[in-house]
Amino acid sequence: MTRLFLLFLLSLSANAIYAQEAQGPKRDIAQRVQHTARALQLDELQTAKLEDIYARENAQLEQIAPLKTSDPDKYTLKLQAIRKGTAGSIRLLLRDDQIALYRKLAAQWRMQEHQLRRQMKDASELEIQEALIGNN
């Protein structure tokens, strides 16, 4: 009976670990919203929409998580598409006077990507894309 119970506990912990790994590069929405809203000087309505954009991004990341092990190339392409889609959605959210701020922030994202790629020169594209997903 004790062995059966221990086996059950072991299987539960293994499932929990797998579920955490399967989530992929999910990021804290509130932290990202706060940083981006401040950088782009968003109003309350824009900030609420930004929360939706980041929540949608996280949902998309959860959807593609199984591809990480089954089809890493497809997973990498989808990560890139999600990053571009999120950046495009943010840009569409902005007023004309915020576009200059967005360009400045996008330039910072590109610099961070460049620096990350140099630091991770021996890493796979998949590892780089996962590291980049939360930068925008």
Q: Where are the domains of the chain?
A: 2-135
pLDDT tens string, the chain, 136 residues long: the values are: 444 333 333 333 333 333 444 444 456 889 999 999 999 999 999 999 999 999 999 999 999 999 999 999 999 899 989 989 999 999 999 999 999 999 998 898 889 888 988 988 888 888 888 877 755 5
The DSSP call for residue 135 is G
Tell me how far CA of residue 29 lies from CA of 5, 77, 87, in angstroms: 37, 22, 15
Cβ atoms 97, 44 nearer than 8 A: no
pTM: 0.70
Q: Give me 102's structure tokens.
A: 């967005």
Q: Give me 40's structure tokens.
A: 């782009």
